[in-house]
Amino acid sequence: MSTAAPGRERVAASGLDISMPGFPEFLPGDVMYEQSVIRTIGEGFEARGFRPLDTAAVQRQEVLVAGGAQYLDGGIPEFAFSVQEPPESYTGANLALRYDLTVPVSRFIAENSDRLSFPLHCYQINKVWRAEQMPTATHWREFYQCDVDVIGQGELSLLYDAEIACSLVGAFQNIGVNGFTVHISNRKVLAALLDSHGIHVHRARAIVQILDKGNKQSQEETRSQLAAAGIPPRVAADLGLLSTLPTLSDARDLLTLRGADTTGISELTTVLQAAEDLGMPEDHLVLDFSITRGHDYYTGTVFETFATGREHWGAIGAGGRYEDLLKHVNGGSYPGVGMSVGLARLMGLLREDGLRLERGLRENAAVVVPREGSDQQDVLSTVRRLRDESISTQAVYDPVDEAEGLHIAEEGEVSYLVEVLGTGAARVRHMGSKEAREVPVAGITAAISELRGA
Averaged pLDDT in 10-residue chunks for the chain of 454 residues = 39 54 82 88 92 93 65 50 87 88 84 90 93 71 92 93 89 76 93 90 70 66 79 87 92 97 97 94 89 78 86 82 72 86 81 61 91 94 95 95 94 93 92 93 93 83
Centroid of chain to Cα 418? 38
Q: Measuring CA to CA, which residue among 341, 337, 340, 342 is closest to residue 106?
A: 337
CB 221 within 8 A of CB 249: no
Tell me, what's the pLDDT at 171?
Answer: 79
Q: Measuring CA to CA, which residue among 80, 82, 60 is closest to residue 128?
A: 80
CB 189 within 8 A of CB 241: no
Q: Measuring CA to CA, which residue among 188, 104, 106, 102 is closest to residue 152?
A: 106
CB 99 within 8 A of CB 77: yes
Q: CA-to-CA distance for 75 and 248, rounded, in angstroms?
A: 37
Tell me, what's the pLDDT at 351?
Answer: 74
How would DSSP label each residue in 339-407?
EEEEHHHHHHHHHHTTHHHHS-PEEEEEEEEEPTT--HHHHHHHHHHHHHTT-EEEE--S---HHHHHH
Whole-structure pTM over 0.75, yes or no? yes
Per-residue DSSP letter, 153: B
Centroid of chain to Cα 213? 21
Which amino acid belongs to residue 1?
M
Which residues, 6 or more positions from 198, have their beta carbon under 8 angstroms from its beta carbon?
Answer: none
Tell me, what's the pLDDT at 326?
Answer: 63
**Enclosing H/E stretch for 127:** strand 120-129
Number of helical (H) and strand (E) elements in the chain, helices listed first: 17, 16
Tell me, what's the pLDDT at 454?
Answer: 73
Q: CA-to-CA distance for 453 and 290, rounded, in angstroms?
A: 55
**Sheet hosting strand 336-342, strand order edge to edge:** 51-52, 120-129, 142-151, 336-342, 317-322, 301-307, 180-186, 285-287
Per-residue DSSP letter, 429: E
In 294-357 the beta strands, taken as DSSP E runs, fall at 301-307, 317-322, 336-342
